[in-house]
């Protein structure tokens, strides 16, 4: 294509033409589509130079806010509904009867403390309401999955994750449990509180500019894995939360909405309890992990 012939309509084809040498077919598909949509977006809103620069400044700030304890790009993806869309498409692709997945979010850490079944998940004294979450883990044919690894993380009684505190390396309200040989699990934890997503960075500026409330309804994250089964990334949501229908990151799914109750069958009948049975999908499906421990992304990004 002759350069002088480029105008605001032919530039998209010119860019696609130049990128046509991309060897990896999937990379080509993704980048071609991204360019087509980016150009269409700029034309649709008739993007002005100063607006383009604002966008560049915003994305630069998002990058600067990323650290081993904070992933502002994932937060941006979450608040734009992109993470939930990727998650939903992944669930649809697999759909083999496994438990519905939900967002990993920015507060997952590897190497959380190990606990015995029934042990309390906090590393120090907490206020708030203690609850029990228990149930059974089976495969899609209803057979028990023995000894599954269950990673759990949530906010404390103030509605804050350990990663949001001054010493984020002190892990609290997160832990690793293993189901027993019959697939049963039981944890003692706090009733989670709904909370504001981190709004002190550029994503917070965007949320305020959009007039959104910024809350997530109360939830407890679960990541469950066992050899021969698909890793499950999900969360249980408290149905009576004011924001159950307006989650800022679009993570709530009907089958994951629960409520505590007095339950004589609970391993801790004196505690408000939630019974939730999980079903692990077949191993050949891909994990629904949309996200990662921020420190892993940071170390990969700097060690290329």
* Span of 70-78, 105-113, 236-244, 289-297 interacting with Fe ion by CB under 5 A: 105-113
Is residue 200 classed exposed, middle or buried when 0-12, 13-18 and 19+ CB atoms within 10 A define those classes?
A: exposed
In the complex, what is the shortest distance from the CB of residue 178 to ligand BEZ, in angstroms, rounded to a whole number?
23
Of 82, 71, 63, 81, nearest to 106 by C-alpha is 71
In the complex, what is the shortest distance from the CB of residue 78 to ligand BEZ, in angstroms, rounded to a whole number?
4
Q: Is 141 helix (H, G, I), strand (E, B) or coil?
A: coil
- Rule CB under 6 A: which of 248-287 touch ligand BEZ? 249
Write the interaction track for Fe ion spanning residues 252-291; mark x where CB under 5 A is met and - where it is not: ----------------------------------------
| Cβ nearer to ligand BEZ, comparing 215 with 226 | 215
| Cβ nearer to ligand BEZ, comparing 250 with 276 | 250
Task: Report the residue from 69, 88, 106, 290 that binds ligand BEZ according to the rule CB under 6 A.
Answer: 106
| Cβ nearer to ligand BEZ, comparing 69 with 107 | 107
Is residue 42 classed exposed, middle or buried when 0-12, 13-18 and 19+ CB atoms within 10 A define those classes?
A: middle
Distance CA 193, CA 86 (A): 26
Task: Report the residue from 69, 71, 78, 172 that binds ligand BEZ according to the rule CB under 6 A.
Answer: 78
**Would you count residue 216 as binding ligand BEZ (CB under 6 A)?**
yes
The site partner of 106 among Fe ion, ligand BEZ, none (C-beta below 5 to 8 Å per kind) is ligand BEZ
* Span of 1-9, 105-113, 270-278, 294-302 interacting with ligand BEZ by CB under 6 A: 105-113
For 23-26, the CB contacts below 8 A with 24+ separation are none
In the complex, what is the shortest distance from the CB of residue 83 to ligand BEZ, in angstroms, rounded to a whole number?
7
Using only C-alpha atoms, what is the Rg of the chain? 22
Tell me the residue nearest to Fe ion as measured from the CB. 105
Distance CA 198, CA 3 (A): 46
Q: How far is CA 27 from CA 23, 31, 147, 291, in A?
A: 8, 6, 39, 20
Query: What are residue 23's phi and psi, to 5 degrees?
Result: -75, -45
Please list the alpha-helical segments (H only) found in 112-262. Answer: 202-209
The site partner of 280 among Fe ion, ligand BEZ, none (C-beta below 5 to 8 Å per kind) is none
Total of residues contacting ligand BEZ (CB under 6 A): 9
Of 135, 124, 113, nearest to 180 by C-alpha is 135
- Rule CB under 6 A: which of 48-77 touch ligand BEZ? 75
Total of residues contacting Fe ion (CB under 5 A): 1
The site partner of 249 among ligand BEZ, Fe ion, none (C-beta below 5 to 8 Å per kind) is ligand BEZ
Distance CA 152, CA 53 (A): 41
- Residues within the interface to Fe ion (CB under 5 A): 105
């Amino acid at each position: 294509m002759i350069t002088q012939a480029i105008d605001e309509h032919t530039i998209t084809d010119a860019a696609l033409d130049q990128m046509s040498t991309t060897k990896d077919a999937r990379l080509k598909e993704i980048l071609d589509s991204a360019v087509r949509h980016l150009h269409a977006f700029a034309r649709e809103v008739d993007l002005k130079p100063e607006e383009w620069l604002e966008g560049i400044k915003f994305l630069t700030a998002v990058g600067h806010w990323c650290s081993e304890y904070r992933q502002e790009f994932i937060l941006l993806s979450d608040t734009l509904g992109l993470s939930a869309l990727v998650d939903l498409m992944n669930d649809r692709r697999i759909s083999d009867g496994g438990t519905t997945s939900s967002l990993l979010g920015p507060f997952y850490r590897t190497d959380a403390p190990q606990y015995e079944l029934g042990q309390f998940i906090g590393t120090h004294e907490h206020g708030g309401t203690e609850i029990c979450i228990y149930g059974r883990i089976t495969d899609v044919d209803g057979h028990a999955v023995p000894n599954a690894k269950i990673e759990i993380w949530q906010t404390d009684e103030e509605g804050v994750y350990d990663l949001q505190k001054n010493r984020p390396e002190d892990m609290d309200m997160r832990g690793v449990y293993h189901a027993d040989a019959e697939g049963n699990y039981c944890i003692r934890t706090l009733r989670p509180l709904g909370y504001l997503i981190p709004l002190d960075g550029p994503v917070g500026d965007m949320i305020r500019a959009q007039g959104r409330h910024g809350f997530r309804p109360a939830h407890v994250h679960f990541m469950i894995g066992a050899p021969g089964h698909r890793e499950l990334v999900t969360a249980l949501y408290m149905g009576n939360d004011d924001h159950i229908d307006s989650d800022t990151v679009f993570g709530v799914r009907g089958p994951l909405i629960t409520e505590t109750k007095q339950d004589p069958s609970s391993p801790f009948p004196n505690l408000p309890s939630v019974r939730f049975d999980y079903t692990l999908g077949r191993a050949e499906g891909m994990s629904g992990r949309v996200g990662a421990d921020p420190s892993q992304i940071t170390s990969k990004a700097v060690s290329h």
